[in-house]
Amino acid sequence: MSQAKAALIHAYAKGYRVKDNLVYGIVKKQPLKLRCSHSGYLFFGIKIGKKVIKVFLHRLVAYEKYQDKLFDQDIVVRHLNGNRKDNSFDNICIGTQTENMLDRDPEERLKHAIKASSFIRKFTNDQVVQIKADHSNGLGYKALMQKYSISSKGTLHYILNAEYVT
């Protein structure tokens, strides 16, 4: 069992619950101090042995709603309104990563996809501009493919005709 899963189950067993985006325990009636991760999710720490492990609010709410279904393979916690900091009971759901992505605003989804694809693109924006310029100046597909080491006409066609946005 992962430390994160163990910490989540431990926190739930100890009575920690999320209400109005705050975490309360059984013993203390005051809310716990929360922090925000680099990716924008709220969490608190719980000590297990000598280690303090992060427990994310959205996962605690999901565990409260779905129990062990949360740990099924390929299941993620979804924020239905796309707001990572809204951990209200009605906003938290579980599902696949595809469903999770579809919860996002379409413009936000497009920006995310463009950013992700920029990490796997072989050609920079400047190179794409140069390839398009060479094509406009009369260089044919075969010559462009040789000059830029492009292995497929389909790839070259896509470079010449698709909108590259970064």
| Model pLDDT for residues 119-151, shown as the tens digit of each residue | 777 888 899 999 999 999 999 999 999 999 998
Indicate if 112 and 166 belong to the same structural domain. Answer: yes
Indicate if 72 and 128 belong to the same structural domain. Answer: no
Structural domain total, the chain:
2
Indicate if 71 and 117 belong to the same structural domain. Answer: no
- Residues linked to residue 46 through DSSP beta bridges, in sequence order: 53
Is the distance from CB of 93 to CB of 107 less than 8 angstroms? no
Indicate if 93 and 129 belong to the same structural domain. Answer: no
- Whether this prediction's pTM lies above 0.75 is answered by no
Indicate if 13 and 52 belong to the same structural domain. Answer: yes
Q: What is the mean pLDDT of the chain?
A: 90
Tokens representing 131? Answer: 């390839």
Element at 58 (helix H, strand E):
helix 57-66
Indicate if 73 and 118 belong to the same structural domain. Answer: no
Indicate if 56 and 91 belong to the same structural domain. Answer: yes
| Model pLDDT for residues 13-50, shown as the tens digit of each residue | 999 999 988 999 877 678 989 999 999 999 999 998 89
Burial of 25 (0-12, 13-18, 19+ CB in 10 A): middle
pLDDT at 28: 66
